[in-house]
Amino acid sequence: MKPLLAAVFSGFMLALAASPPRAAPNTRTPAFGELPEVQEFIAEMRIRHGFDAAPLTRQFASIRSNSAVLKAIQPTAAPELQRSWNRYSARFLNARRLTLGWFFWQKHADTLARAEAVYGVAPEIIVAIIGVETEYGRNTGKFGVLEALSTLAFGYPPRAAFFRRELEQFLLMARENETSPLDYKGSYAGAVGIPQFMPGSQRHYAVDFDGDGRVDLRHSAADAIGSVARFLNMHGWQSGAPIAMPVNVDGDAAALIAAGVKPSLSWRETRARGVVPLAADSGRCADDATVALIYLVSPDQPGEYWIGFDNFYVITRYNRSSFYAMSVFLLAESLRGAQEANASRAFAGEALGEKAEPTQQP
């Protein structure tokens, strides 16, 4: 190395050695306890509900914004994942969910019958909702509920007000149950337990149906069954009333679809506007019954038209999606068919003098 170049290089190395290393950029999000808006929320919980600020501060200091929650709550922009009834329904209307639902019904038949007697909701509807929500308690969610709700309450502006209210309800619920908020696992949106109730719904609609003195939707199937039935009952469920029926549409259905899933037109007026009942279902609806036109769309395939009655609308109070409500209804119909078929086989066996035992699957 030439003397001048060697001197320059030596000086550069000495200067580099004497300079402090540059700190790596801090990409980690701050703990919730550090955020002013969270500190304000803690102060509100102390004033409004008498919470001790110190434990709340420690709990919020132990959690941070969860990027997976924020990703899950965002509507997809991928064309291949656009709204599709065929793709959505395939997740729930399949042999596995039907078989597991049938076994769930057999295991909890007495509790389901009691729920129907108290709240007027048929067993197949209760079983179908639990099946769609968590596959009968098998998939109740792995997100920390306090972290998920905090992420959405303080990091998702489109629905921050809603999730802040749910966070408040969650902390009240945990205190009432004498459990730590950090102990709860649930969905990315903060829904908890076998029936996936949001905290506000649990506090307002859930019921101690097993009589042990507390509401436990995470571990008690009886509490889950009773709570689903009570939720539907308190939202206007009509015992024995129809839910939905398939129809054809002769003409432009856009205005009827745009009216939404809440029944607002009479069946007589709906027929006058081009809705044609299928032959097998033509006598199921009184002329003055209020109905809604439901359209189940699948890209690049013909959609399905259905009439939704008041009970269909009640199911959408559980989850505000026509896809969801229709999946519940159709799974319930399949479950009822399996139950009736099994009962018929058992009756036939008894009539022939054979021992009546349930089949092992629907």
What is the 3-state composition of the chain as percent helix, strand, coil, each rounded to the nearest 5? 55, 10, 35
> Token digits for 226?
């009773």
Residue type, 334: S
Residue 308 to residues 244, 257, 291, Cα–Cα distance (Å): 5, 11, 6
Q: Is 133 a catalytic residue?
A: yes
**Is the separation of the CB atoms in 137 and 131 below 8 Å?**
no
**Total residues belonging to the chain:** 362
**Dihedral sign computed on CA atoms, order 192, 195, 201, 205:** negative
Please identify which of the residues 133, 147, 166, 168 carries the catalytic annotation. Answer: 133
H or E segment to which residue 216 belongs:
none
List of E strands, 89-229: 143-144, 185-186
3-state secondary structure of 288: coil
Residues annotated catalytic, as ranges = 133
